[in-house]
Amino acid sequence: MSATTTTAPEVRLRGAAVPTALTLLVVLACWQVAVPLLDIPVYVLPSPTAILAHADWSAIVSASGSTSVGVVLGFVAGNLLGFVLAGLIAWSAAAASVLYPIGLSLRSVPIIALAPFITLAVGRGVSATTTVAGLIVFFPTLVNVLAGFRSVEREALELMRVLNASKRDVFVRVQLPAALPLFFDALKIAAPTSVLGVMTAEWVIGGHGLGQLILTESLALNGETMWGGIVASAVIAGLAFTLVSLAERLLIPWAGDQ
Amino acid sequence: MAGTDAIRADAVSKTFTIGKESFQALGEVSLEIPERTFATFIGPSGCGKSTLLRILADVIAPTSGEVSVFGRSAAQAREERDFGFVFQDPVLLPWRSALANVELPMQLNGIDKAERRARALELLDLVGLQGFEKALPAKLSGGMARRVAIARALTLGPRVLFLDEPFNGLDEIRRQNMNAELQRIWLETRTTTVLVTHNVSEAVFLSDRVFVMGRNPGRIMAQLEIDLPRPRTIETMTSPEFVEYDRELTALLRTAYEDAEP
């Protein structure tokens, strides 16, 4: 016997896709039937087919593009910040005593409270939405990655000592890879959170994204386009999560077998 | 097998302090282990045998006393990468294949890729793992993972090999097989080896010299030379000499237990 084969990621994905699609279809069907049955006004909740037919899709696509840019930039910036801070904190006790309180206090301020300051500092638009998303995302990543760096078994560190490994070698060859599974967990949390951050910013600060679109369309009692925007935001969050999961399986296949 | 001492410990003690509590793990321990000897520490849990092993390998520092390894301090010997260490848990890096795990010490030592690959393959062969080079640790059985850990400990041709209950958790037959393999490897390399175990027949089977340890505080209570011809086999284990050593060591160990539990 040699190393056995594992189920390929695509097979596992396809296996999960069938029940997921079925569930989605059932929910959509119930929704479609319930709306006329319960006599729900169209500006509150239109049926799926009505949304598909009457929503202003070109406006939704354009708003989705704007939101996506903020999501991607905020996701990258926030996770990079969280990862680097965690690395510095794990590397040096001195850095930890300075950076951890800063991170914690930055996290403690409700993001809404900072919104006016962010507008004044970086202006409106993508720079503002990116900043808000990044600030929401960085702290869970910091906490997770730090736990990852510290998850190394005592004996693994003793082994590195017997081998007279440098601090840099211990960090690069043991701690860093050991932190990757928790880093990917953090990225999966960050993917939808990043969408939330951008849309919150669009809602409070303004801009051309989905947050703004949903707000204005709801005020105009335009239920179809409002709901189109809601669906689009869910699709963006789901897509981001799926991409992170795929990247995880490709980049750290060893973690799934632990 | 006589010759110079590979390891000498003079009045080595260790006290652990956690908060306000302090606990003496080792009293004053002195011992000599000659070059090319297979030595074993056996004793009840809590007798400080793993602590003593870690002090000899300079993984932890003693509270007092001195250790010399081939005439230098243990720290110097470690820094010159004289040691191989196998832990209770195989501690393989899960993202590295069996081969890459064995290569790790050489990689840290700056040995070039071709050379370390060749040497790692040779060692995997020595521990009977040909064909599993590419396997990730998660795909290896407990016994196979332990073989990889032994191969890794041998890569730099250590002058002293430390084994901290390396076959803990394997069933009796697998343990016997691993012991036979360990003896074969030892006969090929004749590396000075220090083993920690609580298994009497394992100690008799493998050792030239057994140190029986007691606790409160940890100390060496007796020393027994095992003078059985090598290679020792499963048949050796039923010979009258082996049985007598087994009985004698059990009696010494029993005293160590009684002493610790008044």
**B99 within domain boundaries:** yes
Under an 8 A CB cutoff, do A177 and B91 touch?
no
Place of tokens 């669906």: A231
Which percentage of chain A shows pLDDT scores above 90?
Answer: 77
Given a cut of 80, is residue B70 above it in pLDDT?
Answer: yes
**A214 within domain boundaries:** yes
Residue B108 shares a structural domain with residue B173: no
Residue B99 shares a structural domain with residue B211: no
B222 in contact with A, Cβ within 8 Å: no
Q: Which CATH number do you get for residue A139?
A: 1.10.3720.10
pLDDT in tens, A13-27: 556 788 889 999 999
A169 in contact with B, Cβ within 8 Å: yes
pLDDT score at A194: 96
Residue B153 shares a structural domain with residue B179: no
Give the residue numbers spanning the domain of B234: 1-82+167-262
Under an 8 A CB cutoff, do B59 and A155 touch?
no
**A172 within domain boundaries:** yes
Residue B8 shares a structural domain with residue B28: yes
Residue where one domain finishes, among candidates B133, B157, B181: B157
**B162 within domain boundaries:** no
**Amino acid type, A136:** I
**A38 within domain boundaries:** no
The DSSP bridge pattern shows strands B21-34 and B5-18 to be antiparallel
Residue B42 · residue B213 · CB < 8 Å: yes
Number of C-beta neighbours around residue A19 at 10 A: 9
**A44 within domain boundaries:** no
B115 in contact with A, Cβ within 8 Å: no
Tally DSSP H helices, then E strands, for chain A.
11, 0
Find the farthest-apart pair of alpha carbons in chain A and give their distance in angstroms, rounded.
74
Under an 8 A CB cutoff, do A163 and B108 touch?
yes
Place of tokens 């930890």: A96
Under an 8 A CB cutoff, do B136 and A255 touch?
no
**A105 within domain boundaries:** yes
What's the mean pLDDT when you consider all of chain B? 92
For B78, which residue in chain A has the nearest alpha carbon?
Answer: A162
3-state secondary structure of B86: strand
Give the residue numbers spanning the domain of A160: 58-257
In terms of DSSP H, where are the helices of A92-175?
93-108, 111-122, 126-149, 154-162, 167-170
pLDDT score at A215: 94
**A2 within domain boundaries:** no
pLDDT score at A258: 47
- List the beta bridge partners of residue B26: B14, B218
Number of domains in chain B: 2
Under an 8 A CB cutoff, do A163 and B91 touch?
no
- Tell which wins on pLDDT, B45 or B97: B97
* Residues of chain A contacting B54 with CB distance shorter than 8 Å: 158
Give the closest-approach CA distance of A87 to chain B in angstroms. 19
**A196 within domain boundaries:** yes
**A207 within domain boundaries:** yes
Residue B130 shares a structural domain with residue B107: yes
Residue B49 shares a structural domain with residue B103: no
Residue where one domain finishes, among candidates B157, B188, B208: B157
The DSSP bridge pattern shows strands B192-197 and B83-86 to be unpaired
Q: Residue B2: which pLDDT band, with cuts at 50, 70 and 90?
A: very low
Under an 8 A CB cutoff, do A155 and B87 touch?
yes
Residue B182 shares a structural domain with residue B255: yes
pLDDT in tens, B155-178: 999 999 999 999 888 888 888 888
Which percentage of chain A shows pLDDT scores above 70?
Answer: 93
Residue B17 shares a structural domain with residue B115: no
Residue B124 shares a structural domain with residue B204: no
3-state secondary structure of B162: strand
Q: Which CATH number do you get for residue B34?
A: 3.40.50.300
Residue B3 shares a structural domain with residue B69: yes
ipTM score for this prediction: 0.90
Residue where one domain finishes, among candidates B157, B177, B199: B157
Residue B174 shares a structural domain with residue B260: yes
* Residues of chain B contacting A251 with CB distance shorter than 8 Å: none
C-alpha span between B71 and A159 (Å, rounded): 23
**B24 within domain boundaries:** yes
Number of domains in chain A: 1
Q: Residue A38: which pLDDT band, with cuts at 50, 70 and 90?
A: very high
pLDDT in tens, A74-114: 999 999 999 999 999 999 989 999 998 988 888 888 988 98
Find the farthest-apart pair of alpha carbons in chain B and give their distance in angstroms, rounded.
59
B116 in contact with A, Cβ within 8 Å: no
Give the closest-approach CA distance of A180 to chain B in angstroms. 10
For A160, which residue in chain B has the nearest alpha carbon?
Answer: B105
Residue B128 shares a structural domain with residue B242: no
